[in-house]
Structure 1
Amino acid sequence: MAEIYGGCQFCTVWLGEEDATTERAFELIRSMASGSHFEDWSCFSQEFLASLEVHRGSKRELEACILSYSGLLEPLQGLFERPWWSRSWTVQELIFPRLVMVKCGRHEIDWHEISQAHGTLEIHLDRCCAHFRDYLSVEDDHSLYIFDHAFSSVDLLRLDYQDQKLPGAEPHDMIYILALNRKRKASDPRDKVCAFLSLSPPDVRETLRADYDADLVDCYAWPTIHDIRQSRSLGALSHALRYEERANLPSWVPDWSRLSDDDDLQVDRMDIYDLFDAAKGSPAMFSRKERTLSLWGTRQQTILTVGDSVDFGTDDTKISVLQSWFNLWQRIQKCGASVGGDSDSAIPFLRTLMLDTFQPFKQVEHRPGLIEGPTRAHPQDYKACQQWWALACAKNTFAPDLNMEPGPEATLMRSVRQSIDLSMGNQLFFITEGDFIGLGPRTTRVGDAVWIACGGNMPLILRPAEESNSGSSDWQPRYALVGDCYVDGCMDGEAADGLGNDPVEVRIV
């Protein structure tokens, strides 16, 4: 398949026969691709826009108006929920050819035009047209999500692959490719790996072959072991995080067959792993024996307290959970920081909420609020976070920026809020026996252990596993991997001295 599409200059993607909404979907994409503001999209009639103006002063009347016009963006959902967008093997049709045409029934559109339409979301959605999104129904907001979810990862891979043709360009790691395509479907679970071999670096294609007689554990474990061996880093273990046990897979092996929305956050957090250096630059030391992965490292602390989990609820729910976390932390402090206070004494807590990272907004002419990649936080970011925390607690809402007048302060508060929202998603606040605080996976429990392993940019949370052969002469304790974590004061090698002297073997099953 790779040879076929690799030598192809032009490809037509067939989505199937058209339905009653297809024509409107193509019209909408073209109007979005023009770069216009939301109110200029083809689906929004002048009558709808006039109704918004009339009822804007009354929340009840505005909600009734929006409800009466619900479904304006539904054609997008119908087009981007077609099976082609979710199949594992279809990615190659798009990645390799230089030119791609998307066809549905008698309608067709160039891929580049769809890419421009998606760029409109990036430019307008959370910036100049952010207020307009408040006027969309839940159904229409979901339609935008479907479009973004179906298109973004595959377009990113396509652009990256075209860039790789340039001199000196490096191909993406296989783990990265698998993570981006994690929610694609396959009839055989092995295809969640095999379907992407052609997109992987040459050393992967030369070593790993599609073998449908292979054990699923070996098929899913191979990319992790290969990545650790090549990178000398444990970053691949981040993708093993899961929220329910999979009996036939060891805890350190990613379950690539999962289709859960929870994994979207892991993809979002891939960019921050290399910002830390908990193991102080030490290369990974590891060995694998069947279902057991041995790492070498140092045990740091046992977790004594965990906070409430943050569900995807309302902004008011989020702020109440964060305030409860703050109160837990305050009990171990002697400084007496107050909830919502803007003194420097609260910085360790706020730094932990941020994972000591920041997703900055760059003010660019014609593209205000353009998001750049995450960076380590700076003093001015902590100051902005203090400002947000004081406002959020005073107004008792996670999003105090929503009612602020447009301007630099509102943009900054939105930036802080979105950065924290990303960092704390599916995370749980914890305190260790040594009064260290951190954020770990929401499955973190009291009694879990924090380890720093050679090659780990972030500490690992490990849980003692149930043992059946503890009486044997060569018995060693075994652990289940819970996931990596942020521990304030341990992210830049401060606790890594033991790694260079006498690291301890830890067996993960």
Structure 2
Amino acid sequence: MRIRNIFRHVRAAQNLHFLLGNYQYDPLPSANYIRLLELVPSSDKVVHCSLKPFELHRAPPFQSLSYTWGNPLTSLSKSSSATSRTRRSHINGCISTTTHRDAKSPPPGRDLEDSERTRRHPVICDGQIIKVTANLRDALRMLATSITSKIEVATPKYFWIDALCVNQENIAERNSQVAKMAEIFKASESVIVWLGKEDEFTTDAITTVERISRIPEEDWPLIPYTSFYQRRTCKQYSRLDLTFHNWLGFIVFINRPWFLRAWVVQEIALAKSANVVCGTKAFPWEKLSKTLGFIKTTKWYHHLHTEKLKHISSIQKHPGVYKRVLQAKLDVGVGPVYLDATRVKMTASGRLSVQERNRKPPLRLLLETHRFSKSTDPRDKVYAFLGLADKRMAPFRTHPEALAPNYNLSVQTVYTDAARALLTSYGNLSLLSHVQDPSQTQIPHLPSWVPDYSVDLDPYPLRYRGPGFWKASGGLKWDINVFTMANGFLDVQGYQLSFIDQASVLTTETDDASASWASIVKLALSLEQPYPSLREDNKSPSRVEVLWRTLTTNTYNKQCPAPSSTGTLFIDYILNLQIRHRLTPWSSADEFQPHHSPLSESIYPEWSTLLCLEPLNSPYSFSVYKERLSTVVESMFSGAYSPIGLAQLQHEFDQCGGKKRRLFRTQHNYLGTGPRSLREGDEVWVLDGASVPFILRRSPTGNYKLIGEAYVHGVMHGELLGMGLPRRQITIE
């Protein structure tokens, strides 16, 4: 009787281990075996289950659970700084160079926030206690009680759940089981995606998914980009009858941590079928897939930002439960879109041949595409994609034993081994473009040429800007030295173009709206004429042309080289900057205050000086600018002028210059844009086997540190090879 009463009280339930003892795992019979969990019906709140070993290929039908180890709800914190500090401490706690991992750490790919210190919820397994986190407890209760009728969770009665089916304290077993996770999820009858309990936003989110998924795919291209805000003008959209509150609910929903976990890419991509469960709500993955496909096709992800939606008058007047959401900076990022795209690629059938259907993505593509994903253990940013990668392609084709999961290795070793395998198997230096800005690196003692996969890559490499196919090295091959790479040194060959003489100020480094542009204009003014390289018509480009082509990396809307019409847009952009900067003292205050002093002339961009230096026949001359100014003013008065066409140009600038990359001028009169951390004195190199130049910094040892890739106007297509510069071999450490 006393035991029965204990089971009925939560406080006593938390002390069950004193009565029943902690669960003791029996070793698996062989490496071919897995454990499956069988849920046992029970009338009390404590989950009862049993773990049974089965040979994987002879196992009974089972389902796999995909979930997050920690808090499953979207964080609505106003600032990401605290999150960043927490994330850094978590990463630093996982990078020990010792030969073993803390046995109490959470399973691979799970959230550290809810690790061992919050694994306080008891599960009775074969008469013994296993403690789990709150989210896993909720998932187990969902499975045990079959609270959703849309998923037959009772049949099959077996489940594979990493936290319970793998002995997390046994490093050797964890290495072995992680290596076969892809096989496990492929063998599952289905995958249950547990997103956690419902919140006050879930109903709006599900409404959005249900209505969007009903739109036929052939109608997606017919829905205008602007109809998101003007629903009455689009007959196709009127069928949706979605409110902005519905969309806000979806934004919160899609920002749940599950969508950013590294391991879920494999778990969802390999699933024969998948069902999403959020509290008592459930729906097949295909509905979410169609919703994401719709958002991608219509490009409505541009609109789905809380920073944009909070300015809509109806939302401002009646925010409802979204008041805190509107204060958080949330959007529909690339994470869920790429996650679904990988699954679509893996499950494509009708349109592909048998050979194409059996082709998995290369490891390199997976690492690049899902760089944004998160994992508690930084090593999982590599290990989570091994089972999904095509073993017939690089690096496994030449390194068949490369990169097997081994949690005895340090993070530095895992990342360096991955970089070395990719560099040598591909035989070029394109991987260097995926090295983050040095200011973003988190893993200590990592060679500067090795990507830190534990952090996001922002901005993405220049080659993603469009089909430019730059060949700065002119097709020269890189001579590989595998022996020095094993010691953390990368031997490269190439040409030193010049030293950085001046660098611009980033928009994030100043509170003055015009200071960044002022520094950029000064760089352009410092350019000597003629410019070292010629245009396609063999004429020297003017300062303004060099400036806008550099600021856009000579790419506009995926066109490379950028069309000359982009220069006309740039003149309009300058005009709008002039108006905005001049009006700042008057418009920045809540009320009209004429006593504001004008911007300092030392800060204000010298656009007029730059334009006056243009040749008389230049399309960017001061006279052309004045004519355009008159036209714009007249259009403004008539209500016919709209600067919406500049939005794309602003996007190009954000990606290439002033915000995410820093503009620079070299001692030899070249203008370029490169990583945020570049500084005066850094060297610009064109390396053999690389399509773009790189910024290198000499270290006290005489070797170099990699700072990042660069666009240098006039040397992106092998022009440097005709300059007679000496070819040198250097070492990057």
TM-score (norm 2): 0.54
Q: Partners in 1 of 2:247 and 2:325 — Cα distance?
A: 5
Match of 1:63 in 2: none
Q: Partners in 1 of 2:726 and 2:187 — Cα distance?
A: 52
Which one of 13, 17, 22 corresponds to residue 193 of structure 2? 13
SS in 2 for 1:265: coil
- Per-residue displacement from partner, 1:238-285 (whole Å, max 9, x unpaired)? 221231454321111111122x5xx24226863548621101112222
Q: Partners in 1 of 2:186 and 2:428 — Cα distance?
A: 31
- Per-residue displacement from partner, 1:418-443 (whole Å, max 9, x unpaired)? 22222224211111110111001010
Match of 1:419 in 2: 652
Which one of 319, 327, 341 corresponds to residue 522 of structure 2? 327
Match of 1:82 in 2: 256
Q: What letter is aligned with 2:697? A: R
Shift of 1:449: 0.5
- Per-residue displacement from partner, 1:449-488 (whole Å, max 9, x unpaired)? 0111111111010001122xxxxxxxxx201100010111
SS in 1 for 2:449: coil
Is the 1:73–1:144 contact (alpha carbons within 8 Å) kept by the matching residues of 2? Answer: no
Match of 2:680 in 1: 446
Cα distance, 1:173–1:505 mapped onto 2, change above 3 Å: farther
Q: Partners in 2 of 1:159 and 1:406 — Cα distance?
A: 46
Is the 1:252–1:508 contact (alpha carbons within 8 Å) kept by the matching residues of 2? Answer: yes
Q: Partners in 1 of 2:515 and 2:337 — Cα distance?
A: 33
**How do residues 377-388 of structure 1 correspond to structure 2 at under 5 angstroms?**
377-388=561-572
Cα distance, 1:335–1:491 mapped onto 2, change above 3 Å: closer
Cα distance, 1:313–1:406 mapped onto 2, change above 3 Å: farther
SS in 2 for 1:90: helix
Match of 1:4 in 2: 184
Q: What letter is aligned with 2:258? A: W
Q: Partners in 1 of 2:520 and 2:656 — Cα distance?
A: 15
Query: Unmatched 5+ residue regions in structure 1?
Result: 46-70, 337-342, 360-373, 468-476
Which one of 277, 285, 300 corresponds to residue 125 of structure 1? 300
Cα distance, 1:413–1:199 mapped onto 2, change above 3 Å: same
- Per-residue displacement from partner, 1:358-384 (whole Å, max 9, x unpaired)? 22xxxxxxxxxxxxxx23124334434
Cα distance, 1:447–1:413 mapped onto 2, change above 3 Å: same
Is the 1:294–1:507 contact (alpha carbons within 8 Å) kept by the matching residues of 2? Answer: yes
Q: Does 1:212 align with 2:407?
A: yes
- Per-residue displacement from partner, 1:258-314 (whole Å, max 9, x unpaired)? 2x5xx2422686354862110111222232141111111111101111111132999
Q: Partners in 1 of 2:506 and 2:698 — Cα distance?
A: 22
SS in 2 for 1:321: helix
Cα distance, 1:325–1:195 mapped onto 2, change above 3 Å: same
SS in 2 for 1:311: helix
**How do residues 173-212 of structure 1 correspond to structure 2 at under 5 angstroms?**
173-202=362-391, 203=393, 204=395, 206-208=400-402, 209-212=404-407
**How do residues 134-153 of structure 1 correspond to structure 2 at under 5 angstroms?**
134-135=311-312, 145-153=330-338
Query: Unmatched 5+ residue regions in structure 2?
Result: 1-180, 232-237, 317-322, 532-540, 583-628
Match of 1:159 in 2: 344
Is the 1:440–1:485 contact (alpha carbons within 8 Å) kept by the matching residues of 2? Answer: yes
Higher-RCO chain (CA-CA 8 Å, sequence separation at least 6):
1
Q: What letter is aligned with 1:278? A: A
Which one of 694, 697, 720 corresponds to residue 495 of structure 1? 720
Is the 2:472–2:720 contact (alpha carbons within 8 Å) kept by the matching residues of 1? Answer: yes
- Percent identity between matched residues is 22
Q: Which of the pair is proportionally richer in helix?
A: 1
- Per-residue displacement from partner, 1:89-135 (whole Å, max 9, x unpaired)? 22222112353321112211232322332344341537899997851
SS in 1 for 2:730: strand
Q: What letter is aligned with 1:201? A: D
Shift of 1:333: 3.4
Q: What letter is aligned with 1:157? A: T
Shift of 1:171: 4.6
Is the 1:27–1:42 contact (alpha carbons within 8 Å) kept by the matching residues of 2? Answer: no
Which one of 2, 22, 28 corresponds to residue 208 of structure 2? 28
SS in 2 for 1:302: strand
TM-score (norm 1): 0.76
Q: What letter is aligned with 1:357? A: T
Is the 2:209–2:291 contact (alpha carbons within 8 Å) kept by the matching residues of 1? Answer: yes
Q: Partners in 2 of 1:113 and 1:171 — Cα distance?
A: 24
Cα distance, 1:221–1:348 mapped onto 2, change above 3 Å: same
Q: Partners in 1 of 2:509 and 2:572 — Cα distance?
A: 20
- Per-residue displacement from partner, 1:72-94 (whole Å, max 9, x unpaired)? 65533543343322322222221
Q: What letter is aligned with 1:217? A: Q
Is the 1:88–1:195 contact (alpha carbons within 8 Å) kept by the matching residues of 2? Answer: yes
Match of 1:396 in 2: 580
- Per-residue displacement from partner, 1:216-248 (whole Å, max 9, x unpaired)? 223102332233223333121122123145432
Higher-Rg structure is 2
Is the 2:505–2:516 contact (alpha carbons within 8 Å) kept by the matching residues of 1? Answer: yes
Q: What letter is aligned with 1:506? A: I
Match of 2:426 in 1: 231
Q: Partners in 2 of 1:146 and 1:345 — Cα distance?
A: 38
Q: Partners in 1 of 2:689 and 2:419 — Cα distance?
A: 13
Match of 2:68 in 1: none
SS in 2 for 1:458: coil
Is the 2:465–2:555 contact (alpha carbons within 8 Å) kept by the matching residues of 1? Answer: no
Cα distance, 1:167–1:375 mapped onto 2, change above 3 Å: farther
Q: Does 1:347 align with 2:551?
A: no
SS in 1 for 2:720: coil
